[in-house]
Structure 1
Amino acid sequence: MAVDALDTRILRLLLEQPRTSAREYARILGVARGTLQARLDRLERHGVITGTGPSLSPAALGHPVLAFVHIEVTQGHLDEVGDALAAVPEIIEAFSITGGGDLLTRVVARDNAHLEDVIQQLIQLPGVVRTRTEVALRERVPHRLLPLVESIGRSTRVPERPR
């Protein structure tokens, strides 16, 4: 989907001021509320905007340990293992990958002992051959999308015609 300058401004506001009303967004942007709503609906329909819920901190919820667990799966059992991972609450994301392993999971834990318990639980899942764990020490770049949105907005701007 092509994202134009107005879409970029809307997405920036959503990321920077997520609790603002649509009426206030329209006022800030200098557009009619109907225009804003039509743009938001289109961005949602095309999957650019995927949710409006709060962003939660696992650390603040008592799970400060973050690890990335690579899982190697017996051939033909990827879907089964993927489904089983959904039942483990400490797994907050899981992806099928290429390279060293079949799945990459993002796992949170209360402490290192709890992380070990979660990994042992993963190893016992039918179809799991082995795991490899990397513990995150410090977040260097927090999850962000604004720089990407801005770079897309810059690349889609129509150059001004010479006068």
Structure 2
Amino acid sequence: MTVRLDDLDRQLLALLRSDGRAPVSKLADILGVTRGTIQARIDRMLAQGAILGFTVRAREEHDGSGVRAIMLIEVTGKSTSAIVRRLRGFPEIHKLHTTNGAWDLVAEISAASLQDFDRVLREVRTIDGVLNSETSILLTAV
């Protein structure tokens, strides 16, 4: 389903990305429209799938604990869908992307310790259809 967004929709989405908990009345004031217009736009975008939900974005580097990494994954043949289903079962994989080029998937990993991180790498690499992987640990956000 193709979702068509106009300028007001895009401005509203940008505000919601910045603060998903902003009151509808505040959004309406910022955008110069009525509260009803904002609520109707949000309801429509939810129904159409342009907005998938509302969540908290926590500052991951704030506590300094754990290991964060990016894993590039190459898969064999037409096994991508099955591998994606398996990878979604790992609680340490926070985001998973398809991509183009030499790698087929990009996984964002966050593990509590180096031991957990090592276990995740081993388990991902043993999935049938995973041909190759390359992982980079994220050090300091700049």
Please state how far the C-alpha of 1:74 moved relative to its aligned partner: 2.1
Q: Which residue of 2 is the match for residue 23 of structure 1?
A: 25
Identity %: 31
Cα deviation code 1:8-62 (max 9, x no counterpart):
5433432444323213333444432212212223333444433222223455688
In the superposition, the TM-score normalised over structure 2's length comes to: 0.78
Structure 2 distance, partners of 1:101, 1:15, is 29
* Equivalent position to 1:127, from 119, 126, 129: 129
- Unpaired segments of 5 or more residues in structure 1? 141-163
Please state how far the C-alpha of 1:118 moved relative to its aligned partner: 0.8
In the superposition, the TM-score normalised over structure 1's length comes to: 0.69
Please state how far the C-alpha of 1:121 moved relative to its aligned partner: 0.9
Q: CA RMSD in A?
A: 2.6
Residues 7/81 of structure 1: CA separation in 2 closer, same or farther (3 Å cut): closer
Structure 1 distance, partners of 2:79, 2:30, is 51
- Unpaired segments of 5 or more residues in structure 2? none
Number of residue-to-residue matches in the alignment: 139
Q: Give the residue type in structure 2 aligned to 1:3.
A: D
Bigger RCO of structures 1 and 2 (CA < 8 A, at least 6 apart): 1
Greater gyration radius: 1
Structure 2 distance, partners of 1:91, 1:17, is 24
Residues 49/71 of structure 1: CA separation in 2 closer, same or farther (3 Å cut): same
Structure 1 distance, partners of 2:78, 2:9, is 42
